[in-house]
Amino acid sequence: MKMSLLKPFSKLPGLNTANILLVESEEQFQQNLADTLVEETAVTVNVRLAKSLPLPMENEESRPRIDLVVFIINLTSELSFRSAEASLKYLDPGYFLGKVCFMVTNARNASVPTERLDAVRKLAASLHCPLLFAEDQTPDGVTNAAERLLTILKVAAGLVPMATALYLSNLTRCTLPPDIDQPSFD
Amino acid sequence: MDNSTRRLLQRLMRRIPTPLLKTTLEKWGRLTVAQRQSMDFTQPKWAVTEKLLAICEENEWTAKQITELEMIYIIDNPNQGMWYAFQLMDPEDDAHSVELMQFKEQFKSHLSELVRHVSVKIKKHTDEAVWIRIAWGDSLSRPNHLKPTYVVHYLQTPYVFVTSLTSKQKPLLSQALVLSTRYHAIKDANLSGRKLTAIRDLLMRQYQQAFPTKYPSPLAEKNHTVSNPRIEREQAGLIANRLQMACEAFGDGMLPQLQSAVYKLETKFKDHTNKTMTERDEPFKCVVKFASTNLLESLRHCASSGIASTPVTPLLSSIPLKGRNYFVITDNGPSPPSQMHASQN
């Protein structure tokens, strides 16, 4: 069990390299996102795709040091949220010092219950992680999402002088409005 | 030409899309070359209709000829309305030797014995199908040509496909069919869809079917294009496995287009957290309906993309396997809750 925990500093970093792990139970958006992420030229970006955690043991050797873990949650699916939630416990606590972020899709969809968005926000806030909203249907949306992830990834991989993941996450982490549990009146 | 015939032709002309008008009229074969040439298909449709009406008046054509035209149009464009499949059961010894002329005669005479006013038209299509158009009347009224029932039967097979049949007419048609095809009974095949060819292919197994033994080893990862060496899937084995499972259930070729699948649940409510419901003796009835423009394709995608869990539940894979899309699910005696049983009827 202890072996299957993913650790942020168990491996050495590569030169000018950033490695990102995209976890999405539906495996739809991650491929598009990955294709866009690897187009980055300033640094070498390696992308690992997973449906859920824990990651398979047999890839342990070949897997580089993961600098940023992104949980992609499709808000229209309860399963998607549950899966991400269940995967969290396979991450070393060290990751939660700025190396994890949540990305939700379909937040504008009318069929999304507001409770689910609130649950995701609470989850992100309780883990001190940033929560990003992304549009997965259009190429522009994918590019935008990839750019935002790259910004965080470069910091998390230590490629930005004077910035650390922990420092950045203090500025970007999700915070809850104090009245989130109050019924809204609008 | 009376008013009702006139209305019949007008309605039919409205149904036929303008691009198909010319070819349909040519296939009809009633118009002389001169008459065909005198019609200008670039004109608005009402003008063409007027012209055709005039020709019909001139030739003193009746509903007989107009319904011919309708049949030609429907045979070429059958995907209108819902088609329901039926299956004939218990053939007599000579059921396999029934030929068209005999069937035609028998069917007409049996049906007219049952209903006084009925107009039947039978036409053989090129693909061995016999098309039957029935305009129903009753003891008082003449056959209503505006709401005909269409029946497609493949001779020497037990399959019958029907569209726009009311529950009142169903026993009459069933009896006439059973008698004229030399079978003993007919049953609902629990299959329906908007595309006649799709439900025919599904029921008569005329599409590329899935054979589990055909995929003994992990498939070549067709859908999984290795786009970039810098992108790696951690659980690639899972994907190959899912693809294989999906192909085992639904095959990897084209699938017949079904629009829906309905599961009628008559099982006991099982949930350990809800005692009140679980302890009730009578089954918890509900209907689950899946709808899509191409249901089987959607289900295969759900399985291969991981939205639905694999291996595909027999409830879903039995749609192509059994060729039906209506199931009643009942409890299979004192069995564990997870083992639901798709009953035979």
CATH code where residue B104 lies: 3.30.160
Q: Would you state the structure tokens that stand for residue B49, as one six-digit string?
A: 């209709």
Give the C-alpha separation, B158 to A140, whole Å.
55
A34/B305 CB distance under 8 A: no
CB within 8 Å of chain A, chain B residues 72-91? none
Answer with the one of B76, B101, B131 that is the final residue of a domain. B76
What is each CA distance from B8 to B27, B72, B139, in whole angstroms? Answer: 19, 15, 22
Give the C-alpha separation, A153 to A155, whole Å.
5
Q: Which residue has the higher pLDDT, B64 or B278?
A: B64
Nearest to A48 among B232, B237, B305 (CB): B232
> Do B157 and B149 form a contact (C-beta atoms < 8 A)?
no
Q: Is residue B70 part of a domain?
A: yes
Return the SS3 of A105: strand
B230/A31 CB distance under 8 A: no
Q: Is residue B217 part of a domain?
A: no
A59/B234 CB distance under 8 A: yes
For residue B87, give the amino acid letter: Q
> Do B305 and B245 form a contact (C-beta atoms < 8 A)?
no
Task: Give the side-chain half-sphere CA count within 13 A for B53.
Answer: 19
Nearest to A56 among B231, B234, B305 (CB): B234
Return the SS3 of B147: coil
B233/A46 CB distance under 8 A: no
Does pLDDT of A36 surpass 60?
Answer: yes
Q: What pLDDT, on the 0 to 100 scale, is given for residue A123?
A: 94
> Do B241 and B249 form a contact (C-beta atoms < 8 A)?
no
Residues B112 and B180 both lie in one domain: yes
What is this structure's pTM?
Answer: 0.74
CB-based contact (8 Å) between B305 and chain A? Answer: yes
Contacts of B235 in chain A (CB under 8 A): 50-51, 55-56
Tell me the backbone φ, ψ of residue B9, rounded to 5 degrees. -65, -40
ipTM of the complex: 0.82
Q: Is residue B63 part of a domain?
A: yes
B234/A27 CB distance under 8 A: no
Tokens 């072996």 found at: A3
Strand-by-strand arrangement of the B183-193 sheet = B118-124, B129-136, B149-154, B159-163, B83-91, B183-193
Buried b (16+ CB within 10 A) or exposed e, B280-299: eeeeeeeeeebebebbbbbb
For residue B265, give the amino acid letter: L
pLDDT tens per residue across span B177-215: 999 999 999 999 999 999 999 999 888 887 766 655 555
pLDDT tens per residue across span B258-289: 999 999 988 888 878 888 888 888 888 899 99
Buried b (16+ CB within 10 A) or exposed e, B83-106: bbbbbbeeeeeeeeebeeeebbeb
Neighbours of B7 (CB within 10 A): 12
Give the C-alpha separation, B38 to B53, whole Å.
13
Mean pLDDT, rounded, for B247-264: 88
Contacts of A48 in chain B (CB under 8 A): 231-234
Could you list the beta-strand ranges (E) of chain B.
83-91, 118-124, 129-136, 149-154, 159-163, 183-193, 231-233, 260-267, 284-291, 326-330, 341-342
DSSP letter at B81 equals: S
Q: Would you state the structure tokens that stand for residue B38, as one six-digit string?
A: 């005198």
pLDDT band at A185 (very low <50, low <70, confident <90, very high): low
Which residues are paired to B132 by β-bridges?
Answer: B122, B151
Does pLDDT of B217 surpass 60?
Answer: no
Q: Is residue B71 part of a domain?
A: yes
Q: Is residue B118 part of a domain?
A: yes
Answer with the one of B18, B51, B76 that is the final residue of a domain. B76
CB-based contact (8 Å) between B307 and chain A? Answer: yes
Q: What pLDDT, on the 0 to 100 scale, is given for residue B342?
A: 39
Ordered by where they begin, the domains of chain A are 18-172 (3.40.50.300)
Nearest to A34 among B231, B306, B307 (CB): B231
* Angle formed by the axes of helices B295-305 and B314-322, nearest 10°: 140
Instruction: Give residue B16's domain range.
Output: 3-76
Q: Is residue B141 part of a domain?
A: yes
Nearest CA in chain B to A45: B230
Nearest CA in chain A to B238: A51
Residues B121 and B67 both lie in one domain: no
User: Which candidate in B223, B234, B241, B304 is best for mutational testing of the A interface (most A CBs within 10 A)?
Assistant: B234
A35/B232 CB distance under 8 A: no
Which residues are paired to B121 by β-bridges?
Answer: B133
pLDDT tens per residue across span B162-176: 999 999 999 999 999
How many structural domains compose chain B? 3
Residues B94 and B147 both lie in one domain: yes
Tell me the backbone φ, ψ of residue B90, rounded to 5 degrees. 50, 75
Answer with the one of B194, B217, B250 that is the final residue of a domain. B194
Q: What pLDDT, on the 0 to 100 scale, is given for residue B227?
A: 65
Q: What pLDDT, on the 0 to 100 scale, is given for residue B338?
A: 38
Peptide bond into B337 cis (omega under 30): no
Residues B55 and B110 both lie in one domain: no
Q: Beta strand A68-74 with A100-105: parallel, antiparallel or unpaired?
A: parallel
Give the C-alpha separation, B343 to A54, whole Å.
40
Q: What pLDDT, on the 0 to 100 scale, is given for residue A160?
A: 93
CATH code where residue B324 lies: 3.10.20.720
Return the SS3 of A14: coil
Contacts of B228 in chain A (CB under 8 A): 34-35, 38
For residue B260, give the amino acid letter: S
For chain A, give the percent of residues with pLDDT over 70: 96
Q: Which residue has the higher pLDDT, A93 or A176?
A: A93
Q: Is residue B295 part of a domain?
A: yes
